[in-house]
């Protein structure tokens, strides 16, 4: 996360599903959150920083939440204060089918140039795109 000199890590190891690594101090901080994430499989998703939203975005395909992206907003003190969670919802007619057993990892991305999020769910499916504009 630029400006924080930190890495946001999704992991099922912690109850909140995420932690922050302070690159300067080389310390790990378990995050607390307020709100409910739409992304329920944090250990199998690819969090991405979105400067325009000042948030970390995360997507995990499951039947109930394929049209939602979870946003984690860094608070004033990101190491100790709770991170507010909000959700972006998209109306889509065509969406990825079935959860990938091993997660999305690097196949979920944000494109500043295109103004939205994309996901390559499977090699035999199209690239799905969620526009912010």
Instruction: With a cut of 80, say whether residue 133 has pLDDT above it.
Output: no
Of 34 and 92, which is predicted with more confidence?
34
Q: What mean pLDDT do residues 44-70 have?
A: 81
Give me the pLDDT at residue 105, please: 60
Distance, CA of 73 to CA of 96 (rounded, Å): 26
- Per-residue pLDDT reduced to its tens digit, 76-123: 999 999 999 998 887 766 666 666 666 666 678 899 999 998 888 777
- Please give the Cα distance from 33 to 18 (Å, whole number): 9
Residue 61's alpha-carbon distances to 49, 97, 122, 130, in angstroms, are 19, 8, 11, 13
3-state helix, strand, coil in the chain (%, to 5): 5, 35, 55
The dihedral sign for the CA sequence 132, 39, 59, 112:
positive
Q: Which is nearest to 59 in space by CA: 100, 94, 22?
A: 100
CA nearest 132: which of 89, 93, 94, 95? 89
Query: pTM of the entire structure?
Result: 0.85
DSSP state of 106: G
């Amino acid at each position: 996360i630029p400006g924080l000199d930190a890495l946001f890590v999704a992991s099922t190891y912690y109850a909140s599903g995420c932690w922050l690594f302070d690159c300067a101090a080389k310390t790990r901080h378990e995050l607390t959150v307020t709100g409910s994430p739409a992304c329920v499989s944090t250990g199998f998703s690819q969090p991405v920083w979105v400067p325009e939203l000042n948030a970390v975005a995360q997507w995990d395909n499951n039947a109930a939440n394929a049209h939602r992206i979870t946003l984690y907003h860094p608070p004033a003190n990101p190491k100790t204060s709770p991170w507010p969670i909000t959700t972006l919802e998209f109306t889509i007619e065509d969406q990825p089918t079935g959860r990938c057993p091993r997660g999305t990892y690097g196949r979920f991305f944000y494109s500043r140039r295109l103004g939205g999020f994309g996901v390559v769910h499977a090699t035999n499916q199209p690239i799905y795109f969620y526009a912010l504009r």
